[in-house]
Homo-oligomer: A and B are copies of this chain.
Amino acid sequence: MKQSMTLIPTLREVPADAEIKSHQLLLRAGFIRQNASGIYSFMPLGRKVLQKIEGIIREEMINAGAVELLMPALQQAELWQESGRWYTYGPELMRLKDRNEREFALGATHEEVITSLVRDEVKSYKRLPLTLYQIQTKFRDEKRPRFGLLRGREFIMKDAYSFHSSKETLDEVYEKIFQAYSNIFRRCGLNFRAVIADSGAMGGKDTHEFMVLSDVGEDTIAYSDTSDYAANIEMAPVVVKYEKDNEPEKELEKVKTENQKTIEEVSAYLNIDEKKCIKSLLFKVDETYVLVLVRGDHEVNDIKLKNLFEASTVELADAEETKKILGVSVGSIGPIHVNNVEIVADFAVEAITNGVCGANEEHFHYINVNPVRDFKVSRYADLRFIQEGDPSPDGKGKILFAKGIEVGHVFKLGTRYSETMNAMFLDENGKSQPMIMGCYGIGVSRTLAAVAEQFNDENGLVWPVNIAPFQVHVIAVNMKDEAQASLAEEIYTELQKNRFEVLLDDRQERPGVKFADSDLIGIPVRVTVGKKAADGIVEVKVRKTGEMQEIHKDELLPALTGILKNL
């Protein structure tokens, strides 16, 4: 493509409202433009990258046995009412009425539409399993659209749905799509992890998020420094075997503390290691109060607590509740002499000898506290958040933390939708059963932004070859120089003939502008046609490494093939 014929509106300044690198650079390099808050146009270069990503997704989805279809954005309210989500989805679901006052939702996701389609067409186990996907525009009215394409209100998603007559085939398809997603993100060049995630309100069992590692990510991932293990920090079990030290138990003693409330303050004041302190927190688990103990340097993981009690809600008791139940303020709680609520503790607490805890009395703590002897715990369990340095739950290596951008999600839905929407099939015995479902999403436009976030330097974007808008950027330094203009044109034509994807900068611009734009855009290889054009010599520069070499036009083709192969 010739730059004179396309629209690549580069900017020298960093746009004021773009906080993160990918947003800044995609705007500055002319890949996107904002139309409204959270709503963007993909300019020609952005559209190209999208198409590349879509192409990779299609290949891998087909390989995984999925079949493409296309569902509408306008979805009848009735379908969302059937599933119940019309009432629970909230203002993120954009709604409108047609000319006959019928209500519609703008598709935020397509569980309802696909379930109704399949329910109407598939009646027998013989037609299952079935995996369908689409690449389509989604609408979610985010409260705080931000970070450019990372959290928009109109965006492109690949969403897939699978239907099954058995859990076994769901497992198989889940595994295949898991593999396809790994391939997709790897081919996009991303540094990512498949992360064990919380199935949350959806009620599914297995679920993984594909997280691109990035400081601007909104989720924290706990991953192994040695193996593939990765999980949302909420989801990672702690597998530490705590050992009691050999110290003999000393006599329990109540000591005066001034205004020390936090573990840090108490530990410092008493000059006792935080690891010897017992952090006591009063929780409201559904309708019951529970006293939860963790070690001073640990944090309670609500989800683990919730799972222990198989509860629906878990929240920290407030000051008033604490006063009412335990008779003291929040900073002075302890387990000793507490009889009116159940006490549960993290495994680490069990190993504490001669510890410290609140005395349920303002300005007093106990020292030389010993579990069993001094208080009674009903259950010990894994109740804390994993920490950096903890052993990886798979037994391989140590845990590190990273921030992640969620670009993909695979999820075993089970019968959540088939039951509410009556998507039934007849099994081998002629018995009617709800279909078992899986759903699988990729944020296509978000993936584009995640790549931009991972691949850039101080001069601009640095696209991985597989999804670069073009492979080669040919620049005629001076278009008024006949030799340069004609050699650039010749190379452009020759490369295209040999199936290279080429952008030709044929603009009447100063060389400085052309080079700066080229770096900003970030095409993997640049071919500069300059003063040695008359001798047939051009300069080839690799965007990523800055490596440069002069090459004669006759050797250009094999040279570029080699360079691109190695990138």
Contacts and interface: CB of A to CB of B under 8 A. Distances in A.
A444 B73 CA distance: 17
Nearest to A122: B7
A372 interface: no
Contacts of A16: none
A42 B65 contact: no
Contact of A76 (B6, B35, B72, B127): B35
A524 to B, nearest CB: 21
B74 A113 contact: no
Interface residues of A, number: 59
B73 A9 contact: no
A234 interface: no
Contacts of A130: 5-7
A33 interface: yes
Contact of A74 (B39, B44, B95): B39
A72 B113 CA distance: 22
B70 A47 contact: yes
Most chain-B Cβ atoms within 10 A of its Cβ — which of A43, A47, A67, A120? Answer: A67
A35 B73 contact: no
Contact of A99 (B6, B35, B41, B91): B91
B67 A42 contact: no
A70 to B, nearest CB: 4
A361 interface: no
A36 interface: yes
Interface in A19-76: 33, 35-36, 39-44, 46-48, 50, 65, 67-76
A72 B121 contact: no
Interface in A132-174: 132, 134, 137, 139, 141, 143, 153-154
A500 to B, nearest CB: 15
A218 interface: no
A379 interface: no
A508 interface: yes
Given A71-B35, A72-B35, A154-B73, A94 B96 contact: yes
Interface string A103-123: 010100000010011101110
A110 to B, nearest CB: 10
B121 A9 contact: yes
A67 B139 CA distance: 26
Contact of A98 (B9, B67, B126, B141): B141
B139 A74 contact: yes
B1 A67 contact: yes
A74 B7 contact: no
A71 B50 CA distance: 13
A106 B72 CA distance: 13
A78 to B, nearest CB: 9
Contacts of A154: 72-74
A452 B429 CA distance: 40
A74 B140 CA distance: 11
Contacts of A5: 65, 67, 130-131
Contact of A72 (B41, B46, B116): B41
A126 to B, nearest CB: 7
Contacts of A104: 36
Contacts of A44: 67-69, 132
B47 A7 contact: no
A113 B1 contact: no
Contact of A41 (B50, B95, B117): B117
B141 A508 contact: no
Contacts of A91: 99
A118 to B, nearest CB: 7
Interface of A: 1, 5-7, 9, 33, 35-36, 39-44, 46-48, 50, 65, 67-76, 91-92, 94-96, 98-99, 102, 104, 106, 113, 116-118, 120-122, 126-127, 130-132, 134, 137, 139, 141, 143, 153-154, 508
Given A39-B72, A44-B67, A48-B68, 6 more contacts: A6-B67, A9-B121, A35-B71, A73-B139, A98-B141, A99-B141
5 contacts: A33-B121, A35-B76, A41-B70, A44-B67, A99-B141
List the 10 closest A-B pairs by CB distance, nearest first. A96-B96, A9-B121, A42-B70, A91-B99, A6-B67, A44-B67, A41-B71, A39-B72, A99-B141, A36-B76
